[in-house]
Amino acid sequence: MADSGRRRLDQPRSRRRFSLDIDPDTFGRLSERLARFMGTGTFLAVQTVIVFIWITLNLVAVNLRWDPYPFILLNLAFSTQAAYAAPLILLAQNRQDDRDRISLEEDRSRSAQTKADTEFLARELAALRVAIGEIATRDYLRGEIDRLRTDLEEITGVQVKDSTTDAGKKRKRDKGSAGTAPARRPADPE
């Protein structure tokens, strides 16, 4: 059995002696700014001027030589800069990849929703087309009325007036003479 006084290696420590609380988002934004600045012409121009001054002072000024000819200190400065620049650039690139991944997921979900909406609208349009095909059109109704009128004329022997054409003529007449009372409909034969 495990002794309670011994630490277990498969579990994290409960208390830390030194804790450095760094907000990863703030650090990430800072690294992106630095990486973005290091990729500008301003940074390259400033670095070129500093290197030129460094080399000039170490070659010309005899009493200011802090880094003689092989410029070991300058190489160390460049190595340190590269050692920090590479992780900063990678961190900024990882954050950009995360943003791109989130954007891609949003685009995919938006595309899926648009596709579902389009399919729904296509089904609704097809249903409307079917419904419109089942609706009685004006020509169909006129044909049915004419058939019923002829059937009624054959059964009763009385000729029935075509009310659809009479109503159209009457409307034209009523529009021309405002204030006239509408004509009464003839009584239906019993």
pLDDT in tens, 5-45: 566 677 666 666 666 777 888 888 888 898 889 889 999 99
Report the C-alpha gap between 141 and 56 in whole angstroms: 102
- pLDDT greater than 70 at residue 159: yes
Reading the block at residue 104, the tokens are 């891609």
Q: Is the separation of the CB atoms in 92 and 32 below 8 Å?
A: yes
Instruction: Collect all residues with Cβ–Cβ distance below 8 Å to 109 and sequence separation of at least 6.
Output: none
Which amino acid type is present at position 67?
A: D
Output phi, psi for 159, to 5 deg: -80, 130
Rounded (10°) CA dihedral 101, 105, 110, 112? 140
Residue 4: per-residue pLDDT: 55
Amino acid at 50: I
Which ranges of the chain does DSSP label H, i.e. alpha helix? 24-38, 41-60, 72-134, 138-156, 163-176
**SS3 label, residue 37:** helix
**Tens of pLDDT, residues 59-109:** 887 777 888 888 899 999 999 999 988 988 898 899 899 999 999 999 999
Return the higher-pLDDT residue of 20 and 132: 132
Using the structure block, give the residue that is written with the tokens 């630490």.
7
Q: What's the average model confidence in pLDDT over 184-189? A: 48
pLDDT value at position 66? 83
Question: In sequence order, what are the residues at sequence separation of 6 or more whose Cβ sits closer than 8 angstroms to the Cβ of residue 64?
Answer: 57, 58
